[in-house]
Amino acid sequence: MMPSGVKVYLASEPVDFRKGPDSPLSLVRDAGSDPFSCALYVFRTKRADRVKIVWWDGSGVCLFATRLEKSSFCWPRIGPVRVQLNHAQLAALLEGLDWKRVRPVVVKSPVFSG
């Protein structure tokens, strides 16, 4: 379970996963962000069938990895862009769903006349 308030950033450029957790952290730093800001940074391979997430939890670097066997993760166009996701969008992404379709529900309160 991810603590509330943790920001999630998605890198649109594919990454070589043959390197260890220091490589994605250096990519975060090279892009001008602080890899030790307690944000989650999400990366994908060229085929978009594997995802790695690096996260500084305040005491050390956590590296999460997952893969889809029969499809690929929904990803924004490749380019020098970093996208911020909310927690529901990250959950959808990791399930192999189209996270771009996850939107907050606006609940209208009933109107009472007095």
Q: Which of the two residues, 34 and 109, has the higher pLDDT score?
A: 34
Sheet holding 61-67, edge to edge: 61-67, 50-56, 40-44, 8-11, 82-85
How confident is the model at residue 30, as a pLDDT?
87
The model's pLDDT over 26-63, given as tens digits with 9 standing for 90+, comes to 888 888 888 888 899 999 988 899 999 999 888 888 88
How confident is the model at residue 106, as a pLDDT?
67
